[in-house]
């Protein structure tokens, strides 16, 4: 009996915490969004909140904006990470590239709140780059500098994510490259392949599944992040997380089901992305067995 | 000879590319540092002429909530690390060593908070937290921080467990070592580096939380992120920058410390083996 139940008993403490607080919270959120457990005691099952959200222009605009920014930032981070990984591979492994690799990880250590602030100081109209542009005569006034922070195109948010997430994707991809045996490269070089060709023909296909899954993780993260859009976003349209937060805390009690419905939609979308990323990692593991 | 110059020539281009990108990645730190000690630093000045300790003085001397917030941040992070280790050590062991029914589903449940944002759960849970008196309380904040960190701790420990040679344990068992001494003398030394790495990551995630802390703590539980927020959202740039530097420094000190501990640990182990 003990032998059979031991695996479950060892997992139980972690599972209880995650299931009660995390999944319990998600379930309670769902129930409240469906009009059950209403604070006024008036509870009956209704899809009203979801219907209202889908018909609401504000929500659809928020959803579109969030999807767009998450897509652009995750893809650009992914492309930049591949470029950096490729250049570092072509330069080969030596003391210099080892230091460069370490320095590129620094933005990962900076908390998101600080990262957003750093980008704000750099790019706002009265920021450092604007000052430089004025000093060398590129812009004639403070107003001539383009809006990057709190702008409708969300440029500041995208730059913050690229700055923070590119190192993350690089970190995910590096271990796979370092596992590729040197002998493979030597054989390729015997046949006349340069490091550039070796990267394109051998390394790129091997890192592709990991690359896609890390881009998906970054997408899910940027899609649901709060701090960065809260600091660098505009008042309309808002990011979904900010939209839901405002509805819950600044709105009326009757708007709370709407906020929780928005949350639930967010949770479902990220969960699907997570499953996709997991499936891709599975494919990679399967391929690795045959290395 | 021609081929050789071509090769170095192309390498130079790659070095230039990486150099430019490196500068682009480090550039954002410059205004943060200038802002934190510059006197009357305004558009369009590129560098400062006079330095001042006004912002430093405000943050570390005049504003008494700074030390409280540093203390809270560290207490919360350390509590989360300790709880995570206690929860994850048996869980990761079970996930690596045993095959059992429902393993895939349990893994999926445990790792879900990595991808589904924890605030969606905490907002749903808010009513219950309110009833239990966990809102505006440091205990509630600690509980909330466990969600986004526990999966990473389990992951880090799973990697460590998978490298432990089971033959060693069997030998110890044959020699009469019970499960507890087998764990302390054989498994623990092996998983310690992974535990330290997981702890470092947990610490980093916990101190970085603004939203979760604010949701549960309601601004009453002051951490560095909470205290700095008013200054960076349209407040005093100099003070915001000092907090920014302080906040990043805490994260970097954590990592350097962990790196140091791990290196030392591995060195010691090598001696033992020889």
CATH of the domain at A280: 1.10.3720.10
Q: ipTM, 2 decimals?
A: 0.86
Q: What pTM does this model have?
A: 0.88
Nearest-CB residue to A109 (from B110, B150, B248): B248
For residues A34 and A139, state if they share a domain. no
Number of inter-chain CB pairs under 8 A, A vs B: 236
The answer to whether A106 faces chain B, any CB pair under 8 Å, is yes
User: Same domain, yes or no, for A261 and A228?
Assistant: yes
Domain boundaries, chain B: 55-273
Give pLDDT tens digits for B213-255: 999 998 889 999 999 888 888 777 888 888 889 888 888 888 8
Q: Is residue A44 classed as helix, strand or coil in its secondary structure?
A: coil
CB contact A5 to B (< 8 Å): no
Mean pLDDT of B73-96: 95
Q: Does A114 touch chain B (CB under 8 A)?
A: yes
Q: What is the pLDDT of residue B87?
A: 97
Find the residue in B nearest to A14 (Cα): B87
**Cα-based distances in Å from A227 to A153, A161, A214:** 18, 11, 21
Tell me: do A65 and A36 sit in the same domain: no
Chain A residues lying within 8 Å of B247, measured CB to CB: 111, 113-114
Average pLDDT over residues B30-35: 85
Counts for chain A of helices (H) and strands (E), in that order = 15, 0
Over range B125-151, report the average pLDDT: 94
- Tell me, yes or no, whether A51 lies in a domain: no
| Cβ <8 Å between B28 and A131 | no
The answer to whether residues A20 and A87 belong to one domain is no
| Domain-located, residue A178 | yes
Q: What percent of chain B has pLDDT over 70?
A: 93
Q: A11 and B95 in contact by Cβ < 8 A?
A: yes
Pick among B31, B48, B251 to test the A interface (most A CBs inside 10 A) = B31
Same domain, A137 and A187: yes
How far, CA to CA in Å, does B135 sit from each of A243, B56, B205?
22, 32, 20
In a domain, A215, yes or no: yes
- Please check whether residues A91 and A205 belong to one and the same domain: yes
Asked if the C-beta of A28 comes within 8 angstroms of chain B's C-beta atoms, the answer is yes
Pairwise CA distance, residues A281 & B203, whole Å: 26
- Domain tally for chain A? 2
Report the run of H or E that residue A12 belongs to, with start and end.
helix A2-17
The secondary element (H helix, E strand) that includes residue A104 is helix A95-104
What pLDDT score does A60 carry? 92
CATH of B55-273, one of 1.10.3720.10, 3.30.1360.120, 3.10.20.30, 3.30.70.1350: 1.10.3720.10
**Higher pLDDT, residue B64 or A15:** A15
Q: Which of B28, B114, B228 lies nearest to residue A118, judging by beta carbons?
A: B28
Domain co-membership, A157 together with A15: no
Interfacial A residues in 184-203 facing B (CB < 8 Å): none
Q: Residue A226 is part of which domain span?
A: 57-289
Q: What are the pLDDT tens digits along chain A (291 aa)? A: 667 888 999 999 999 999 999 999 999 999 989 888 766 566 778 888 888 888 889 899 999 999 999 999 999 999 999 999 999 988 888 888 888 888 888 898 888 999 999 998 888 888 888 888 888 888 888 787 888 888 888 899 999 999 999 999 998 888 888 777 777 888 888 888 888 888 888 888 888 888 988 898 899 889 989 999 998 888 788 899 999 998 888 877 778 888 999 999 999 999 998 898 888 877 776 666 555
pLDDT at res. B271: 44
Contact (CB<8Å) A121/B229: no
Which candidate from B32, B115, B204 shows the least CB-CB separation from A271?
B115
Which residue in chain B is spatially nearest to A240 when comparing CA positions?
B120
Flag whether A52 is in a domain.
Answer: no
> Between B134 and A145, whose confidence is greater?
B134
**What CA–CA distance (Å, rounded) separates B248 from A106?**
10
């Amino acid at each position: 009996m003990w032998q059979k139940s031991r695996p479950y008993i060892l997992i139980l403490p972690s599972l209880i915490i995650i299931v009660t607080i995390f999944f319990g919270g998600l379930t309670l959120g769902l129930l409240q969004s469906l009009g059950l457990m209403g604070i006024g005691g008036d509870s009956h099952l209704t899809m009203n909140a979801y219907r209202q959200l889908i018909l609401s222009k504000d929500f659809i605009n928020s959803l579109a904006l969030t999807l767009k920014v998450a897509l652009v930032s995750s893809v650009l981070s992914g492309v930049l990470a591949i470029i950096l990984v490729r250049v570092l591979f072509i330069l080969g492994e030596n003391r210099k590239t080892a230091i460069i690799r370490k320095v590129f990880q620094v933005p990962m250590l900076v908390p998101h709140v600080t990262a957003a602030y750093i980008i704000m100081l750099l790019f706002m109209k009265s920021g450092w780059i604007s000052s430089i542009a004025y000093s060398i005569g590129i812009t004639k006034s403070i107003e001539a500098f383009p809006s990057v922070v709190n702008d409708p195109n969300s440029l500041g948010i995208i730059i913050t994510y690229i700055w923070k997430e590119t190192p993350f994707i690089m970190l995910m991809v590096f271990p796979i490259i370092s596992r590729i045996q040197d002998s493979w490269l030597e054989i390729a070089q015997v046949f006349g392949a340069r490091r550039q060709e070796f990267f394109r023909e051998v390394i790129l296909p091997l890192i592709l599944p990991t690359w896609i899954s890390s881009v998906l993780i970054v997408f899910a993260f940027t899609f649901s992040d709060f701090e960065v859009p809260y600091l660098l976003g505009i008042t309309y349209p808002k990011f979904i997380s900010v939209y839901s937060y405002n509805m819950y805390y600044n709105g009326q009690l009757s708007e709370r089901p709407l906020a929780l419905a928005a949350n639930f939609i967010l949770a479902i979308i990220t969960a699907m992305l997570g499953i996709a990323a997991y499936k891709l990692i599975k494919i990679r593991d399967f391929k690795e067995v045959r290395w | 000879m021609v081929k050789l110059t071509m090769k170095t020539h192309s390498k130079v281009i790659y070095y230039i590319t990486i150099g430019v990108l490196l500068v682009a990645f480090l550039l954002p730190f410059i205004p943060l540092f200038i802002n934190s000690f510059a006197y009357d630093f305004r558009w369009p000045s590129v560098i400062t002429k006079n330095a001042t300790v006004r912002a430093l003085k405000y943050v570390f001397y005049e504003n008494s909530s700074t030390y409280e917030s540093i203390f809270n941040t560290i207490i919360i992070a350390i509590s989360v690390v300790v709880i995570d280790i206690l929860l994850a050590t048996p869980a990761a062991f079970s996930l690596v060593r045993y095959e059992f029914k429902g393993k895939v589903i349990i893994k999926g449940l445990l790792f879900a908070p990595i991808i589904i944002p924890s605030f969606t759960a905490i907002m749903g849970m808010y009513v219950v937290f309110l009833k239990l008196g966990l809102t505006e309380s440091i205990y509630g904040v600690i509980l909330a921080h466990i969600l986004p960190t526990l999966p990473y701790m389990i992951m880090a420990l799973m990697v460590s467990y998978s490298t432990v040679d089971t033959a060693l344990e069997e030998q110890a068992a044959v020699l009469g070592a019970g499960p507890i001494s087998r764990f302390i003398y054989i498994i623990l030394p092996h998983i310690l580096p992974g535990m330290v790495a997981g702890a470092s990551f947990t610490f980093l995630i916990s101190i970085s939380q603004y939203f979760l802390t604010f949701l549960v703590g309601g601004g009453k539980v002051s951490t560095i992120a909470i205290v700095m927020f008013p200054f960076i959202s349209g407040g005093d740039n100099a003070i915001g920058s000092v907090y920014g530097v302080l906040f990043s420094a805490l994260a970097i000190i954590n990592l350097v410390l962990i790196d140091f501990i791990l290196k030392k640990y591995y060195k010691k182990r090598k001696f033992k083996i020889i």
